[in-house]
Chain A
């Protein structure tokens, strides 16, 4: 099985973010970057498929020099090959997906895994879009996945239920929490990841269809009032919810 995984580096979800002087992006100093949490599920799934069916798992990341860190993390978990896609300028979602698809194209992948969404852009777009440009079907936010070697069955959740899809390979799957339990990197994996050579390809520039106007902090929620201590505070709480907040 020829397996690809799309990974990206994202700020740690705990990181305190500062807006850059240009008011368009975050200031990158003092931020701890990690492998996007959903991509850990994608990498894990790629490794499980390799263990089950044989073959190789190749990880792809598009981005600046730091993207290499995401690739090395995935190599340390057990991926075999890594490709770093460098882009000459900023890309929007379509541009990113086109660049990824161009790098994946013609390499005969049977399955491509991506994360459900990145925890910085929060879009959940790159996976389905990349599948479109590769002319293959996708199934997103998958929580359960089986493959018999040529066809897959996949479950995804929606509000109040779940739906099961069937599909022939090749397919692109985006991983939702619950799909698996990502492994930790092994010592051997870490050693391998350090010396493994990473292939570099260049993305074609693309005209962005979306323009970022500004970045702001969300309005601070005013800390409200502590109504009281223990069960005695319940009547007062209800009164406030009815009369002040008017939600009951």
Chain B
């Protein structure tokens, strides 16, 4: 089974999620035999090959083109299809980031391939690709198989580990591309979030605040704890809806799905739609003044009490630990 893995990069930087997908691809190829090709897309991206070396690819394809400088569903899809053909791959693997969730269905349509999105497990069973994916907002887990090949598979970020591995030096090939007239929906501008904030989906630690924080002015307590833990700030939906926090921080069914190593929920009741976004976290800590709050049913550790009092003490204690 040959696998093509798209390694996401933005503005000349590889996204960790791309390496997660590459490592997952290596595991599959090791199990079934075959060749693992890493696809890098962008403009002026020669430098990126260095980072991908040692991550398990047998071959690296460089798709370097001015029309690939910014994300374009159409140009990226065209390039992925070219690379699939050239690498003779049966599986197109990518990470279910904002970009991957957009590209995967388009690529599946173009390749006339089955689509398995946002998978949390992927393995080969008797030569057939079998995956697990959360459905119904994580209330159920579905096991699916690719009934035919090729298949496009996207992997939920932060579930699959990045594993360095020893394989022979990958071959590097530049793809010849003709993208004339391909792009109709063109990206004309990108904007980084103020302060270059770490995104909740990419952070190892997420500290989230909910309505129990009482006022937007108290969110500095969340920010300070997140900073001390080098994590990101998350929020429940109501505090986003009333404008206390930006939408990009919302965790849950209608927000982002996060799987950090440590998730701290302060002043969050633990409604089912919030759990949909964070129950795949490795360790969950809840701070809530109501001992009956449903969040305690999923939390590994809980403190019953006033978040406004506990958060600053916790932040101080974490900082003390660092010293």
Contacts and interface: CB of A to CB of B under 8 A. Distances in A.
Nearest to B305: A230
Nearest to B250: A177
Interface stretch (B162-170, B173-181, B195-203, B207-215): B195-203
A163 interface: yes
B191 A162 contact: yes
A165 B187 contact: yes
Interface in B100-120: 101-102, 104-106, 108-110, 112-118
Interface in B66-117: 70-71, 73-74, 97-99, 101-102, 104-106, 108-110, 112-117
A44 to B, nearest CB: 15
Interface in A126-181: 126-129, 131-133, 136-141, 143, 153, 156-168, 171, 177-178
Nearest to A122: B135
A234 B148 contact: no
Nearest to B98: A158
A221 interface: yes
Contacts of B184: 136-137, 167-168
Interface stretch (B34-42, B50-58, B309-317): B309-317
Interface size class of chain B, counting residues whose CB lies under 8 Å from the partner chain? 35 or more
Contacts of A237: 285, 301, 303, 314
A143 B248 CA distance: 11
A227 interface: yes
A26 to B, nearest CB: 7
A105 B206 CA distance: 45
B69 to A, nearest CB: 12
Contacts of B247: 143, 157, 177-178
Contact of A234 (B118, B137, B261, B313): B313
23 contacts: A17-B139, A92-B114, A94-B109, A120-B136, A122-B137, A125-B105, A127-B105, A128-B106, A132-B106, A161-B190, A165-B187, A167-B185, A208-B147, A209-B113, A209-B148, A209-B151, A210-B115, A210-B147, A211-B147, A215-B141, A224-B302, A229-B303, A230-B306
Interface of B: 10, 15, 70-71, 73-74, 97-99, 101-102, 104-106, 108-110, 112-118, 130, 133-148, 151, 184-193, 196-199, 201-202, 229, 247-248, 250, 253-255, 261-262, 272-273, 276, 279, 282-285, 291, 296-306, 309-310, 313-314, 317-318, 321
Query: Ordered nearest first, which 5 A-B pairs have the shortest CB separation?
Result: A209-B114, A224-B300, A125-B105, A158-B98, A132-B109
